[in-house]
Every structure is written in C-alpha cells, then in structure tokens.
Amino acid sequence: MDPERIVAFERRITDGIVSEQDQFRELIEAYALGALDPGERVALEAHLAAGCSECAKALEEARFLVSQLAYLAPPAEPSDMLKARLMQKVRAEAAVGRPATAKTRGALIPYWLWAGVAALLLLSIYSTWDARKLQQEVQEVNARAAAERNKREQLEQELTLAKHEAWILTDPTTKKIDILPNDKEMPRLEAMWHPELGIYITGQRMPMPKEHKVLQLWLIPKSGGKPMPSHVFWPDANGKITEMVDDPPEVMAQTKALAITEEPAGGSLQPTSTPLWVGGVS
C-alpha cells in the first residue's frame, strides 16, 4: 500500500469528521467495563500506548467508577468455613517464613567467632544469590521489553488494518458487491471495493474448505482475459470471514466480476475448479 496515497486520503477525510480523540474518549468507560469489542479494544489500547494523557486520566476515573458497580450485588454472607480454611492456609504460609529457634552453642569455640563466621557465610550466600537474582531480573526485563515491543508492533498493524477497514466501509466511493453462491444452501459473501484502499470481503456461517484446500479470490477482467489470482483465505473457527485485499491485481474499472474457488493449499495460478461464488462488479 502506497503511504502517500494513505496520507492524501487521510487529509481528505479529516474535514468535518468528529476528531479521532473524541472517538477514543467515548470508548473509555466501556473499556474500563471490559465491554469493548475486539476491534475497538485494540484500537483504543494502541491509542493509550501512544501516550494520550487525557484518555489515561479518564481511564483512571472510569476504572474507579466501574469498581463501584460491585455494590449492586445483593448482600450475601460467606460461610464461617471459608474463613477457617483461608486462615489455616495463611497461617501455614506465614509460619514457613519464621526463623528457627536458637540452637546450643559450640562448647570450645567462642560465641563471637561463631557469629562472625555465620555473618561472613550469610554475606557470601547473599552476594551470590543477589548476583544471580539480578542477572535473572535483567533477563526477565529484557524478555518483557521484547514482548512489549512485539505486542506494540502487532497492535499498530491491527490498528492500521482496522482503520483501512473503517475507511473502506464508510467512504462514498466504495462499491458494494454481492458475491452470490452457486449453491443456494451456502451463505452469501459481501465485498466492499474502494478504488484506492482495496477490497474488504466479509461472510458469516461459512463452511470450512475440504482438507488441504483453501478459498481463493479471482478477478475476472472485462477484456476477456484469464482470471487474475488474488488472496487465499479461509473462515475462522466461527465460520466468519473478514479478509482485507489491499493489493488487488486489477483496478475496479477493468474488472467484470469477482469469483471464489476452492484451491489446493497455497493457491493456484489458474482456477482448478468451478467458482463457488461469483459477484458482478459492473
């Protein structure tokens, strides 16, 4: 995807639209409640990770507010047995940490020498333990930092994808294409084709392709040439399809129809079966 096209498109849509900041601010209370759907949650978390102080402050207040909903629960009393079991565990764990009672001192060696030896031994053990602990902590911090970087990159990618999908769905230049099944028992698919951002395909209750097979999108050119291969995809565990084709091999104006076939895993250069779904573009 050409970054300049995206920037130019962004500039065109910012006029007259509610600011992105306002949109994120409106999600804060639902986020604190845990009620956001995945797309909005990912987008908001990326926004918070970018360091929006206004939203961070609002989130602190919202978290507190949500915690107060606990008082809506009807009154109830735990059993005495619960407290008894709990206190037994806690006392047992507390007792493990208590120091041992003093033992009899050695008869021939002075007490002060024993104390000195014990102190040196403890210092030596502590230094070794401390060094190992520090090394382990450094490793853990590095691992956490790497994990956080990966997570942030993934969130940024998901946010970019979510943005593109939102733009495609709302832009007036987007064309809606119904992709109809040959078998009437099968569900319909829908494609939203934006001339600059690509094709966004959705479907529900889709059956899984046969073993070692995938679904593949084809663009049928108006010129009468061979079908042009595009993305391969498959439904998720819930039978849902949301596929973003940001690099279709042909422009919309030159495309007669979209078709979907079942192909071997990895896709094919030419269709190896008859289309299961077809949608006219023009």
Partner 1 sequence: MISKYGEGASSDATLVDRLLRRDVSAFEELYDRHSRIVYALVVRILEQAPTAEEVVQDVFLQLWRNAARYQSARGPFVPWLLTLARNRALDNLRLKSERQRRREDQTDELPAIAQAPEYEKALDEKRRAERVRSLIGTLSASQKKAIEMAYFEGLSHSEIAIALQEPLGTVKSWIRNGLLRLKEGLQTAS
H-only helix segments in the chain: 3-14, 20-25, 28-33, 38-49, 53-67, 80-96, 111-170
Strands 213-221 and 255-264, sheet pairing: antiparallel
Question: What SS3 class is residue 214?
Answer: strand
- Are 32 and 59 in contact by the 8 Å Cβ rule? The answer is yes
Stretch 5-44: interaction string toward partner 1, x if CB under 8 A: ---------------------x--xxxxxxxxxx--x---
Token couple for 218: 């084809």
- Of 78 and 172, CB closest to partner 1: 78
Strands 213-221 and 175-181, sheet pairing: unpaired
Nearest to 276 by CA among 217, 211, 193: 217
The verdict on 72 binding partner 1 (CB under 8 A) reads: yes
Shortest distance in whole angstroms from residue 82 CB to partner 1: 5
Determine which residue in the list 89, 103, 184, 212 makes contact with partner 1, applying CB under 8 A. Answer: 89
Determine which residue in the list 10, 20, 61, 140 makes contact with partner 1, applying CB under 8 A. Answer: 61
At a CB cut-off of 8 Å and minimum separation 6, what does 258 contact?
Answer: 177, 179, 191, 199, 217, 218, 219, 220, 278, 279, 281
- Of 42 and 206, CB closest to partner 1: 42
Which H or E run contains 224?
none
Question: What SS3 class is residue 167?
Answer: helix
- Of 15 and 77, CB closest to partner 1: 77
- Of 51 and 97, CB closest to partner 1: 97
CA-to-CA dists, residue 138 to 124, 126, 129, 191, angstroms = 21, 18, 14, 49
The verdict on 67 binding partner 1 (CB under 8 A) reads: yes
Q: Which stretch binds partner 1 (CB under 8 A): 5-13, 77-85, 174-182, 228-236?
A: 77-85
- Of 3 and 97, CB closest to partner 1: 97
Shortest distance in whole angstroms from residue 30 CB to partner 1: 6
- Give the Cα separation of 156 and 22 in Å (integer): 20
Start-to-end CA distance of the chain, whole Å, equals: 24
The verdict on 241 binding partner 1 (CB under 8 A) reads: no
- Of 146 and 180, CB closest to partner 1: 146
Stretch 91-110: interaction string toward partner 1, x if CB under 8 A: x-xx--x-------------
Stretch 142-181: interaction string toward partner 1, x if CB under 8 A: ----------------------------------------
Residues that bind partner 1 (CB under 8 A): 26, 29-38, 41, 60-79, 81-83, 85-87, 89-91, 93-94, 97
